[in-house]
Chains A and B, each alone.
Chain A
Amino acid sequence: MPAVSKGDGMRGLAVFISDIRNCKSKEAEVKRINKELANIRSKFKGDKALDGYSKKKYVCKLLFIFLLGHDIDFGHMEAVNLLSSNKYTEKQIGYLFISVLVNSNSDLIRLINNAIKNDLASRNPTFMNLALHCIANVGSREMAEAFASEIPRILVAGDSMDSVKQSAALCLLRLNRTSPDLVPMEEWTARVVHLLNDQHLGVVTAATSLIITLAQKSPDDFKTSVSLAVTRLSRIVTSASIDLQDYTYYFVAAPWLSVKLLRLLQCYPPPEDTALRSRLTECLETILNKAQEPPKSKKVQHSNARNAVLLEAIALIIHHDSEPTLLVRACNQLGQFLQHRETNLRYLALESMCTLASSEFSHEAVKTHIETVISALKTERDVSVRQRAVDLLYAMCDRSNARQIVAEMLGYLETADYSIREEIVLKVAILAEKYAVDYTWYVDTILNLIRIAGDHVSEEVWYRVIQIVINRDDVQGYAAKTVFEALQAPACHENLVKVGGYILGEFGNLIAGDPRSSPLVQFNLLHSKFHLCSVPTRALLLSAYIKFINLFPEVKATIQDVLRSDSQLRNADVELQQRAVEYLRLSCIASADILATVLEEMPPFPERESSILAKLKKKKGSGKLPENVNGNAELHAEEPAAANKASPPPPTEVLALNPTPPAAAHSLLVDVFSDLSAPTAVAEDHLSRFVCKNNGVLYESQLLQVGLKSEYRQNLGRIYVFYGNKTSSSFLSFSSWVSSSDVLKTQLNVHAKAVEPVIEGGAQVQQVLNIECVTDFSDVPVLNVQFRYAGTLQNIEVKLPVMLNKFFQPTEMTSQDFFQRWKQLGAPQQEVQKIFKAQHPMETDAAKAKLLGFGVALLEGVDPNPANFVGAGIIHSKSAQVGCLLRLEPNTHAQMYRLTLRTSRDSVSQRLCQLLSEQF
């Protein structure tokens, strides 16, 4: 008899499903679904109470609709109601709906929690299991808060059924993952570990999963699990399979549990206790031996299960990395798998070998399989497997086989799947650089890369080749010659033009002696590619041309003609036009000496982490790759700490060539073109920019940038001041403080927290200023900054934008209230009026934004003339609160404004009027 009888389902549901399946078109399906949704909605809303069966049926329909990809936005409440039914089937459907459809931040969680609480307390194992499943599937923080203390109790209780214990263990694991802080494990540790001895293998499996996660977080607390796990494993491995009845799967004893136990052991180093250690070694040997026995069944399931255990055992051997004999056996075993007829095994063997390659004991053994791996790369039909082969070649590469591996990878690149080309390009570039003894080989390899897969060569790769060529003068001549030759190909990739332009611009002189590559030939060759290139490349080529003018005075006239042509001087692209104009002027005005200084050869780049390596890491996700890259000791020596360096600088910084002219030339250009604006002086009017806004850049020079973020509440304020060091060296003895005039000191309290005396190059520090308004004020405090840069003391004084209007609280009021108060403030000194000319375009929205930024509430419909603005607010100070009403009347014809302010204090009216009138 089938366990699920087919006939007695819910008839309405079956009819609905067949209807959907009969729909001929997507539209018909949507229509049918909408009809059903409307029907269910009306049923749920109807007055008649639905019985459990109908609720169950409708909830089931909703589930089906959801599976088809339609949004379900109701029915949650009915599902929650089903939870409290005492019928199993209804409860079950309720829980199913919730675990599929309710997300962790639903507002129904409280109701659900209540139902769960009842079921957990019911002592009915079926209900308890449903509840535990629900907690594990939703796993929200509220649930963790409600049940984190209850579940460990269920887990270790003597009278819990095995199936409940299993569920409780996994439930606890889930909560520990989602909200670890809420699941205190200390008092349960010993008893949870003890579950490894449980009679029921299902409980042991679940408990092992739990312990693996806990042991990863706090290894010391769960150390005792190691010996229990070894004991358990050895009992499974050595037992005759009949001992484990049901947990034997296709003649393999408890494969899942074995895998879990081996995983758990990978959380720890090899056991120190020698007896335990030899017992574990014995287990691992037995597992390796079993792999050589003839299979007990021809079924693929048998070999799958056996190999799952075997591969996990190998993973443990690699993790321990301490028993050379085991490591070599593991390597041989994987070597067998490399040629196995099962694709899955070949895939997994390649993957495991990647980690094995980083062990010093087995690196050599792995290398013996190089031919097999290369042939896998060439013959495997499955791209997943080929990708693993590439990974393994990358991992097993060292100085002895680098040339072979790089050549094979380059060869493979020509036919490789598009999805993995970029990764292969990065890998080839890294290997070529790392193992280059002879840099001509490196240059050849990279140019080949560009030739074969130019589209997949990212900026990092060609930046890097230029960095290396510039830093190594032994390869510069060769590089110039090679790119010159490569550029002669009728069609070459744009990346090659970039590399060629840069290198010839710097080192074209090294090959200019040969009449076949005379300056003019070089220039014509480059310029023949110019028109086919994108704007950034053209910009780079223009820079190369001006460098040519410096290197080869004989082509100066030719290049000037090119620069002078309309297609350059009047180019639609601003960057290209500017370069053409500036370079042309530069070449006309500057003397040979100045040219030579401005266009000097690029200085060597500082050694830094290869930007390519960083890119590859980013592509592969952190954690996985560095192991492979810096796997063996040899690599460590070559790239000291490179992998640990902070994040690499953005690529544009790596090579200062895009889109600004070469960095060395920059400061001198300023002198040649004297009409370029001088560094901006500290402008006085910056203060008025901050009247209506709280955040922004307060001050900026070539060294320092000061930014502000401020917030105000009633009579208190807080300003975060950010000091950014724009240079690459540190500011020393840095200090900053706020000074106020004597009068202001009594009106406004400013307290500045101390800052660090050193700001590293490129770093930013933050200072907090606390401000209290004692009474109304009109002066402005001053921010003083002092530091030592390059030996000289720098002093900066900036007015700090703390104005009276910052302490405004907006006030909404009706038209009637407004006019009543307006009249009350009728005394002549309380009103201040100013008529002034508009400084900015008179736009309504801009004016509104300014008034709101000023701090008042805008009152609509108060003024009979809709063009006028009316506002109200209260200034808060420690001593008093001052109400304030204002009216702003624009006159667009005359381009004038009339501003009227009425407050109960004349000094406040004066100051506010002054501040606000400057804004329009």
Chain B
Amino acid sequence: MIKAILIFNNHGKPRLSKFYEHYNEDTEQQIIRETFHLVSKRDENVCNFLEGGMLIGGSDYKLIYRHYATLYFVFCVDSSESELGILDLIQVFVETLDKCFENVCELDLIFHVDKVHNILAEMVMGGMVLETNMNEIITQVDAQNKMEKAEAGIAGAPARAVSAVKNMNLPEMPRNINIGDISIKVPNLPSFK
């Protein structure tokens, strides 16, 4: 069973956390920190598996992770999962994100947390692998987007008008967000062809 799925960047900032077992908020944050600490100090080209931290259950659990550009994708699993299977699942997840966001980068995960959750929900459910076929996953996501568009078309118009008016006073449009010290152009993930 998958106990938790965590995505954080090279600085340990969480970008997605999904726990399939209940912990309180403090523990969840501690687990993220502990996991980051364990994973980030590992060299590249060592193996992708390691024993879980104490908070998540110690040596009965494995952390299986992949590192893409600025992001770590970590799955915490028990012994009933195949290590290589999970590693491939991470790959499918990232490829799916890449297709859905067209060259996904860290900012997509930040500004569309809900979308990422929805894509993940098509793959993993309650800690179990639900679907591994990328085409199937993308079909589902597409269907959702269609529904969203349709709803936005009929009912969303007034709301969008309102928010457009509200935004007229904003000094800058979010297209040109100043990201501060972090550069906006996050390197793209390696291409998957």
Given contacts A11-B174, A170-B130, A343-B47, contact A67 B16 (CB under 8 A): yes
Given contacts A69-B14, A247-B133, contact A170 B128 (CB under 8 A): yes
Inter-subunit contact B121/A133 (CB<8 Å): yes
Q: Which residue of A lies closest to B110 (CB)?
A: A17
Q: Is A158 at the interface (CB under 8 A from chain B)?
A: no
Inter-subunit contact A174/B126 (CB<8 Å): yes
The complex places the Cα of A344 from the Cα of B22 at a distance, in Å, of 30
Inter-subunit contact B179/A382 (CB<8 Å): no
Q: Which residue of B lies closest to A384 (CB)?
A: B50
The complex places the Cα of A87 from the Cα of B155 at a distance, in Å, of 9
Classify chain B's interface size.
35 or more
Q: Is A126 at the interface (CB under 8 A from chain B)?
A: yes
Partner of A2, one of B14, B102, B143: B102
Contacts of B180 in A (CB 8 A): 21-24
Contacts of B152 in A (CB 8 A): 8, 89
Inter-subunit contact B14/A18 (CB<8 Å): no
Inter-subunit contact A202/B22 (CB<8 Å): no
The complex places the Cα of A587 from the Cα of B46 at a distance, in Å, of 64
Inter-subunit contact A89/B49 (CB<8 Å): no
Contacts of A311 in B (CB 8 A): 82, 84
Contacts of A665 in B (CB 8 A): none
Q: Is B188 at the interface (CB under 8 A from chain A)?
A: no
Contacts of B59 in A (CB 8 A): 620-621
Best-surrounded residue of B49, B115, B125, B156 (most CB of chain A within 10 A): B125
Contacts of B131 in A (CB 8 A): 163, 166, 202, 205
What 6 pairs between A and B have smallest CB-CB spacing?
A136-B126, A308-B84, A2-B102, A382-B46, A53-B159, A174-B126
Partner of B114, one of A53, A93, A167: A93
Contacts of B32 in A (CB 8 A): 69
Q: Which of the 9-residue segments A96-104, A270-278, A634-642, A674-682 touches chain B?
A: A96-104
Contacts of A69 in B (CB 8 A): 14, 25, 29, 32
Partner of B99, one of A3, A22, A308: A3
Q: Is B9 at the interface (CB under 8 A from chain A)?
A: no
Q: Is A51 at the interface (CB under 8 A from chain B)?
A: yes
Inter-subunit contact B100/A4 (CB<8 Å): yes
Partner of A205, one of B132, B164, B179: B132
Q: Which of the 9-residue segments A255-263, A398-406, A518-526, A795-803 touches chain B?
A: A255-263
* Interface flags, B106-150, vs A, CB<8A=1, else 0: 001011111101100100011111111111101011111101100
Given contacts A2-B101, A11-B167, A384-B46, contact A88 B85 (CB under 8 A): no
Inter-subunit contact B143/A126 (CB<8 Å): yes
Inter-subunit contact A206/B130 (CB<8 Å): yes
Contacts of B43 in A (CB 8 A): 381-382
Q: Is A780 at the interface (CB under 8 A from chain B)?
A: no
Contacts of A10 in B (CB 8 A): 163
Inter-subunit contact A344/B49 (CB<8 Å): yes
Q: Is A439 at the interface (CB under 8 A from chain B)?
A: no
Q: Is B191 at the interface (CB under 8 A from chain A)?
A: no
CB contact list, B164-192 vs A, under 8 A:
164, 166-167, 170, 174, 177-180, 182
Q: Which of the 9-residue segments A58-66, A234-242, A479-487 touches chain B?
A: A58-66
Q: Is A792 at the interface (CB under 8 A from chain B)?
A: no
Contacts of A301 in B (CB 8 A): 88, 91
Q: Which residue of B lies closest to A202 (CB)?
A: B131
Given contacts A206-B128, A259-B85, contact A347 B108 (CB under 8 A): no
Given contacts A93-B114, A621-B60, contact A205 B129 (CB under 8 A): yes
Q: Which residue of B lies closest to A69 (CB)?
A: B29
Contacts of A173 in B (CB 8 A): 126, 128
Inter-subunit contact A304/B84 (CB<8 Å): yes
The complex places the Cα of A500 from the Cα of B84 at a distance, in Å, of 50
Q: Which residue of A lies closest to B132 (CB)?
A: A256
Q: Is A71 at the interface (CB under 8 A from chain B)?
A: yes
Partner of A18, one of B100, B118, B177: B177
The complex places the Cα of A17 from the Cα of B107 at a distance, in Å, of 10
Inter-subunit contact A4/B163 (CB<8 Å): no
Contacts of B129 in A (CB 8 A): 205, 209, 256
With A104-B22, A136-B128 known, 15 other A-B pairs at CB within 8 A are A4-B141, A12-B163, A21-B180, A52-B155, A71-B25, A92-B144, A136-B126, A163-B131, A174-B128, A247-B133, A259-B82, A263-B80, A304-B91, A387-B51, A624-B60
Q: What's the minimum C-beta distance from A425 to chain B, rounded to whole angstroms?
A: 17
Prevailing SS type, chain A contact patch: helix
The complex places the Cα of A15 from the Cα of B178 at a distance, in Å, of 11
- Name A residues whose Cβ lies closer than 8 Å to a Cβ of B: 2-6, 8-15, 17-18, 21-24, 51-54, 60, 63-64, 66-69, 71-72, 87-89, 92-93, 96, 100, 103-104, 126, 132-133, 135-137, 139, 163, 166-167, 170-171, 173-174, 177, 201-202, 205-206, 209, 212, 246-247, 249, 255-256, 259, 263, 301, 304-305, 307-308, 311-312, 343-344, 346-348, 381-382, 384-385, 387, 620-621, 624
The complex places the Cα of A701 from the Cα of B188 at a distance, in Å, of 77
Inter-subunit contact B133/A21 (CB<8 Å): no
The complex places the Cα of A473 from the Cα of B9 at a distance, in Å, of 62
Inter-subunit contact A308/B88 (CB<8 Å): yes
Partner of B170, one of A15, A137, A202: A15
Contacts of A18 in B (CB 8 A): 174, 177-179
| Complex A-B: 21 CB contacts under 8 Å | A2-B99, A2-B102, A3-B138, A21-B110, A21-B177, A21-B179, A24-B180, A52-B155, A92-B114, A133-B121, A163-B131, A167-B130, A256-B88, A304-B87, A305-B84, A344-B87, A348-B49, A382-B42, A384-B46, A385-B46, A385-B47
Q: What's the minimum C-beta distance from B109 to chain A, rounded to whole angstroms?
A: 10
Q: What's the minimum C-beta distance from B99 to chain A, rounded to whole angstroms?
A: 6
The complex places the Cα of A10 from the Cα of B15 at a distance, in Å, of 18
Inter-subunit contact A249/B60 (CB<8 Å): no
Contacts of B48 in A (CB 8 A): 343-344
Q: What's the minimum C-beta distance from A758 to chain B, rounded to whole angstroms?
A: 39
* Interface flags, B8-45, vs A, CB<8A=1, else 0: 00000011111010101100010010000000001101
Inter-subunit contact B51/A384 (CB<8 Å): yes
Partner of B126, one of A88, A100, A171: A171
Given contacts A71-B25, A166-B131, A167-B130, contact A87 B151 (CB under 8 A): yes
Inter-subunit contact A137/B151 (CB<8 Å): no
Contacts of B47 in A (CB 8 A): 343-344, 346-347, 382, 384-385
The complex places the Cα of A173 from the Cα of B141 at a distance, in Å, of 24
Q: Which residue of B lies closest to A104 (CB)?
A: B22
Q: Which residue of A lies closest to B177 (CB)?
A: A18
The complex places the Cα of A103 from the Cα of B24 at a distance, in Å, of 9
Inter-subunit contact A14/B174 (CB<8 Å): yes
Partner of A170, one of B51, B126, B148: B126
Q: Which residue of B lies closest to A92 (CB)?
A: B118
Q: Which residue of A lies closest to B58 (CB)?
A: A621
Q: What's the minimum C-beta distance from A649 to chain B, rounded to whole angstroms?
A: 25
Inter-subunit contact A202/B125 (CB<8 Å): no
The complex places the Cα of A288 from the Cα of B131 at a distance, in Å, of 26
Q: What's the minimum C-beta distance from B65 to chain A, rounded to whole angstroms?
A: 11
Given contacts A22-B180, A68-B14, contact A163 B140 (CB under 8 A): yes
Given contacts A2-B102, A174-B126, contact A15 B174 (CB under 8 A): yes
Q: What's the minimum C-beta distance from B118 to chain A, rounded to whole angstroms?
A: 7
The complex places the Cα of A305 from the Cα of B174 at a distance, in Å, of 42
The complex places the Cα of A384 from the Cα of B52 at a distance, in Å, of 11
Contacts of B163 in A (CB 8 A): 10-12, 53
Q: Which residue of B lies closest to A52 (CB)?
A: B155
Inter-subunit contact A347/B114 (CB<8 Å): no
Inter-subunit contact A53/B156 (CB<8 Å): yes
Contacts of B113 in A (CB 8 A): 60, 63-64, 67
The complex places the Cα of A489 from the Cα of B35 at a distance, in Å, of 43
The complex places the Cα of A52 from the Cα of B143 at a distance, in Å, of 21
The complex places the Cα of A170 from the Cα of B22 at a distance, in Å, of 18
Q: What's the minimum C-beta distance from B24 to chain A, rounded to whole angstroms?
A: 8
The complex places the Cα of A88 from the Cα of B135 at a distance, in Å, of 22
Contacts of B18 in A (CB 8 A): 100
Partner of A167, one of B108, B125, B156: B125
